[in-house]
Chains A and B, each alone.
Chain A
Amino acid sequence: MTDIAHDMIPEAASAAEEIYKENILDHYRHPRNRGAFSPCAFKHREINASCGDDLELFVDLADGKMRKVAFEGRGCAVSIAAVSMLTEHVAGMTLAEIEKLGKDAMLGLLGIPVGPSRLKCALLGLKTLQNGIAAHRTAL
């Protein structure tokens, strides 16, 4: 019976694999920089209530630059892969540089087609980091 369904949309298989490329799944299964640490310069948590995604980022600074950033939490493959890639990408960057990162930069990092229904997942890590930076600046 599975054959019938597969025949329904011949191009479907490749389209499904496009978003869940091997490196996305690799970051999902083996996230980089996962694990809380303290002491840290600041930490910040954001959730996507509609998905149940829940991320907390831990940041350590040296000379105004990201010395170390790690995350803890749970989410879908897109949100976890995105935050995992982000933690690698921002290492050594200044807060101002990170604040300039936009949606396109994050999607470029992911390198997969993300539709409107999954955009919030893709951007949750970046939003958490940027809101954390904003809160950190206010606290200073």
Chain B
Amino acid sequence: MMTAVKNASGGMATPWSKARADFPLYTNGRRKIAYLDSAASSLTPEPVLAAMDAYYRECRANVHRGMYAESEDAGARYDGAREKIAAFLRAAADEIVFTRGTTESLNLLAYSLSRKLGPGDEVVISIMEHHANLVPWQQLAKERGFALEFIPLAADLTLDMRAARALITPKTKIVSVTYASNVLGTVVPVRELADLAHAVGAVMIVDAAQAAGHRPIDVRELDCDFLALSGHKMLGPTGIGVLYGKRGRLEALPPFMFGGDMILDVRKEDSLWNEVPYKFEAGTPNIAGAIGLGAAIDYLGKLGLDAVRSHEREITDYALAALAKIPGVTVYGPPSGSDRAGLVSFTIEGVHPHDAATVFDRQGVCVRGGHHCAMPLLRELGLNGTLRASFGVYTAPEDVDALVAAIIKTKAIFNV
């Protein structure tokens, strides 16, 4: 447990307080804050900013086209980032497609894969999905006539695997689930679902937005066909994300967007697509973003993803223990001891989450209040919204202490 809290005012002698110094928002921001909204977007460390800055200053040119040193340098940095991401996921570089983020990756898959689906086919997702892994399937189900099925939650707010086994049938063509719930923190047994999907010949997709950068990911071990992640949730910049696909799967998939860079040959009447992954990267990509994401992976690699995971786990346990002591606070998540992501969702009896979040804000405590882009899940739980505190490598126990103080303050203001 976090013993460091006792000497919080004097600073902690852990590698994490050192890491905190790498995040300029703590020193350059408008005010002193307890940043507890990492599940929405993480903070960005200096080395990531420096890598992007260096691209703009040293080799600001387009990639893949210019036959001059600066463009070649930019291309090397851009494709170097792709190799870093490949190593990070234990994939091959040509299995890594750059996108704008998880949302675009999942839309690409939904549009491209559902072309072959129709009445009688089924796509299976879970009730915990973020809207990004729900609405695309829901809308394409209406258009193409396939059915969308939801794996429910068990009473302990883990995924109901018994129901999953019953739902995944030969009619199932795609199984697309979150690795870790952005509301509950529930971690899904992805490999087990992949085995169920593959047993009926279905494609397995993993939304890793809340997992990437928080725990080691090995796509071969997960045996997923596709995996989506966002750079800005794993210490990288906004506007860059990744779609991983098994090489054969990517090759079989038609391109999603058309334009420059994704073609080999264009004639007036037809075009020939570039090889993977380039056939999915139409137009000038987010070069600086990709380079920044590569630098974020280097940074996480130095900390060590196992160490990152155990730090976030300790902070989460510390927060769970602290919140359990406050009367009127209800925590929503899987039982203690189960595998979970670094976040805690809760409500304060008698206080709307948005009112609480406003009081927290005035105390310098940054949390998310509301439905967290997972309205079907919130309805299932019978809630309008929750407050969510989510953690990163830079989160210190004092941040949780500030949250506790803000909750107590809120209760005093609302007299509950």
Contact = CB atoms under 8 A, between A and B. Distances in A.
A8 B402 CA distance: 8
Contacts of B351: 77
- With most chain B CB atoms within 10 A of its CB, the pick from A8, A13, A49, A75 is A8
Interface stretch (A16-24, A30-38, A58-66, A93-101): A16-24
Nearest to A77: B355
Nearest to A54: B384
Given A8-B364, A50-B370, A52-B384, A25 B401 contact: no
Contact of A4 (B9, B354, B370, B385): B9
A15 B414 CA distance: 15
Contacts of B409: 13, 16
B362 A16 contact: yes
A111 to B, nearest CB: 16
B352 A75 contact: yes
B48 interface: no
Interface size class of B (residues with CB under 8 A): 20 to 34
- With most chain B CB atoms within 10 A of its CB, the pick from A12, A15, A74 is A12
A90 B61 CA distance: 61
Interface residues of A, number: 29
A86 interface: no
A15 B358 CA distance: 10
Given A5-B404, A20-B359, A20-B414, A121 B354 contact: yes
A51 B364 CA distance: 22
Contacts of A118: 354, 358
Contacts of B375: 49
Interface in B365-405: 370-371, 375, 384-385, 398, 401-405
Nearest to A29: B415
Contact of B355 (A4, A13, A15, A20): A20
A13 B9 CA distance: 20
B414 A51 contact: no
A16 B357 CA distance: 10
A89 interface: no
A12 B363 CA distance: 5
A8 B384 CA distance: 31
Nearest to B352: A76
A6 interface: yes
Given A1-B5, A52-B385, A8 B355 contact: no
B212 interface: no
Contact of B413 (A9, A16, A49, A52): A16
A13 B362 CA distance: 7
A115 B8 CA distance: 32
Contact of B363 (A16, A52, A75): A16
- With most chain A CB atoms within 10 A of its CB, the pick from B352, B364, B370, B371 is B352
B293 interface: no
Contacts of B413: 16-17, 20, 25
Contacts of A138: none
A121 B364 CA distance: 21
B359 A5 contact: no
A15 B354 contact: no
Contacts of B402: 4-5, 8
Contacts of A16: 358-359, 362-363, 409, 413
Contacts of B405: 1-2, 4-6
B34 to A, nearest CB: 7
Given A15-B362, A16-B362, A76-B352, A5 B401 contact: yes
A2 B355 contact: no
Contact of B352 (A6, A9, A17, A77): A77
Interface in B155-181: none
Contact of A77 (B5, B34, B414): B414
A83 interface: no
Which 5 pairs across A and B sit closest by C-beta, in order of nearness?
A52-B384, A5-B405, A76-B352, A16-B362, A5-B402
24 contacts: A2-B404, A2-B408, A4-B9, A4-B398, A5-B34, A5-B402, A5-B403, A6-B405, A9-B31, A9-B32, A16-B358, A20-B355, A49-B375, A51-B385, A52-B371, A52-B384, A75-B352, A76-B352, A76-B355, A77-B352, A77-B355, A115-B358, A117-B358, A118-B354
Interface of B: 5, 8-9, 31-32, 34, 351-355, 358-359, 362-364, 370-371, 375, 384-385, 398, 401-406, 408-409, 413-415
